Amino acid sequence: MDERESRPRWSIGIRRPRSLRREPAAMNSQAGSIAEATVDATEPHSPALTKGRMTANGRRSLDSIRPRVLGCKDLLRDAKNESLSPHTRYRLALECMYLCCVEVVEAEGVTVDDIAHPSFKILDVAIPALQLPDRDSVTVDLLLYWSQRSSPFVPAVPVTDVCDLAERIYDAMLCRIGFV
């Protein structure tokens, strides 16, 4: 059996031209110079940060500093899309709320890398920090419980109310992390 027959089918494909391939030594030297540079992402004109949008006053935009916030914005937009199924809209709104809570927890100085997601621990820290009313915090808890149970049924809360709650949490998160 030749080498080509012994490889799995998924590995056979178009290869990069040699001019576009990087040698391991070149990649290691680049990684070293990147790792040595310390960058404050809130600096107005950081030379090491070349991607992301700039605001009118020359500062980096929120979504280029915190990509999770941009994800929340996209999830919220999609949750409001009435052409999607109610089940999908509930899930998108919950994901938006949960990512907002993760952002708040990180802003509070708690590391989220060691936590298995989704987790009620995130909500235990974020909900009081966001200063949500009790009825909203109960709704978020119930939605997270619903998502973990993988129920084929939708929650009793109207999807428009859940989207409104997700928007309130998004706005509260922006205030809490200092961008409003």
Q: Where are the domains of the chain?
A: 16-60, 66-176
Closest CA to 90 of 169, 167, 160, 172: 160
Residue 65 confidence (pLDDT)? 67
What value does the CA radius of gyration of the chain take, rounded to a whole number of Å?
Answer: 22
Say which CATH class 66-176 falls into: mainly alpha
Q: Model confidence at 58, in pLDDT bands (50, 70, 90)?
A: low
* Predicted TM-score (pTM) of this structure: 0.65
pLDDT, mean of residues 32-42: 40
Mind giving me the DSSP string for 88-106?
HHHHHHHHHHHHHHHHHHH
